[in-house]
Amino acid sequence: MHEDGWLAPATEAEAHETYSDLAPAARTVVRETAKAMSFDREEYDDRVTNEVVETALDALFASLLRVTVGTRAEFETARAETGYDADIEGSDAVENAVWHVAPATETIVAATFQDAETAAVGTLRRQAFGKVYRDVLSTEGAEP
């Protein structure tokens, strides 16, 4: 069993704070990517919208989520220890699982996999963001 990533906010307030702290990095990544693509000022203004920056921020946040990779038995033990509700994607017939414990919402999001660990980790992070953090971090009308 091993962990990857570092982000596991204990509270909704901590999730908001971390998300806000990552906003400047997301803006920098988008700006530097646009520069590498040789966007002139007009194209930048037309194409780099708040939605684009927010998407980058969401992806950055998700990519940093702490996940644990282990066997199904290890996942079931972690699940029992927390007592949190679990949202599990995948097959019961495979040997491995990847999971993210989200104390902020008392949820565990998990995905099972047989061999493709890297793909499972990426998929799980996107699922965890969508299922746990998207609503928590909803910033309707706020600028990223």
Per domain, the residue ranges of the chain are 2-136
**3-state SS class at 23:** helix
At 72, the pLDDT band (50, 70, 90 cuts) reads very high
143 CA to centre of own chain: 20
Q: For the segment 92-129, what is each residue's pLDDT rounded down to a tens digit? A: 899 999 999 999 899 999 999 999 999 999 999 999 99
If one compares 10 and 143, the residue with the highest pLDDT of the two is 10
Between CA 76 and CA 87 the distance in angstroms is 12
Q: How far from chain centre, in Å, is Cα 121?
A: 10
What would the mean pLDDT of 5-16 be, rounded to a whole number? 94
- Exposed / middle / buried, residue 49 (Cβ in 10 Å: 0-12, 13-18, 19+): exposed
Which residue shows structure tokens 């930048």?
44
Name the percent of the chain lying above pLDDT 90. Answer: 91
Rounded Cα distance between 59 and 128, Å, is: 11
* Cβ(109)–Cβ(87) below 8 Å: yes
The structure's pTM equals: 0.88
Across 51-82, b (16+ Cβ under 10 Å) vs e yields eebbebbbebbbeebbbbbbebeebeebbeee
